[in-house]
Amino acid sequence: MMPDKYRYIAVEGPIGVGKTSLARRLSERFQAGLMLEDADSNPFLPRFYQDAARYALQTQLFFLFQRAAQVRDLKQLELFGQPTVSDFLLDKDTLFARLNLNDEEYRLYQQIFAHLQPQTPTPDLVIYLQAPVGSLIERVRRRGVAYESPITEDYLVRLAESYSRYFYQYDASPLLIVNSEHLNFADQPQDFELLLERIGQMRGGREFFNRAG
C-alpha cells in the first residue's frame, strides 16, 4: 500500500526519460490508481513533429483540454480517498506552450488556461526524472513510436532545459530529483527498490537521488 503521507505522487520529466514506466511500477507496488497522459489520442501530435510552427497551437490546446479533464477526475478520486500516481502535472502544460508557441499564440493559450484551470489537489510528492539528452534520444528511438521519429536533438535539448528551469523554482510539493541515466526502473528490480528506499528516507522539501554508473 502507498504510505499515508504519499496519497498523490506525480512523476515528471522530458520525453523519453521513463516517467510513464515508473508511474506504472509505483501504481502496481502501492496498489494505487494510475493517471497517465494519452499522447496517442492527440490527432495533431504526429503533424506537430513534422511541422511544429503550423500545428503547435492545436497540439497544445488538445493536451490542455485533455489534461484539465483528467485532473478534474483526480479531484473526484481525492474526495473518496483513493491514492493516485500520475505521469504528469497540469502546470507543466505551460512549459510546453512557452517552448512551442509564438507570442500571440501563447497569450491566447494563457487566457484559455486561466479559464480552464481546475482546482486540483497538490501532489504529496513529485519525482522529477532527469537524463542526458543523448540518453533521451536513445530511449525515444528504442521505443519506436513512429510519430516521434522526427524529434530532433535540438528540441530535446531545449525541452530538457525548460524542465530544469521549471523545477529549479518549483516549491509547491516535496520534490525528489532523480538522475535516471544509470537507473532502469522498468527492467531492473534493484533500481526500483533503491528508489523506494530513497523515497522512504525523504525528509526535506527538495532532495536528490543519483547513482554513478
Cα 46 from Cα 151, distance rounded (Å): 10
**Would you kindly state where each structural domain of the chain is located, as residue ranges?**
8-210
Q: How confident is the model at residue 78 (pLDDT cuts 50, 70, 90)?
A: low
pLDDT digits (tens, 9 = 90+) for 139-164: 899 888 888 888 999 999 999 999 99
What are the distances in angstroms from CA 128 to CA 45, 139, 178? 24, 17, 6
Lowest mean pLDDT across 69-78, 81-90, 183-192: 69-78
Helix (H, G, I), strand (E, B) or coil at 80: coil
pLDDT digits (tens, 9 = 90+) for 26-48: 999 988 989 999 999 999 999 99
Q: Read off the C-alpha cell for 64.
A: 490542455
What's the fold here for domain 8-210?
A: Rossmann fold (3.40.50)
Task: Tell the burial category of 118 from Cβ atoms under 10 Å away from its Cβ (0-12, 13-18, 19+).
Answer: middle
Q: Read off the C-alpha cell for 8.
A: 498523490
Q: With 60 as the cut, is the pLDDT of residue 213 above it? A: no
Share of the chain above pLDDT 70, in %: 93
**CA 12-136-32 angle, 5° bins:** 30
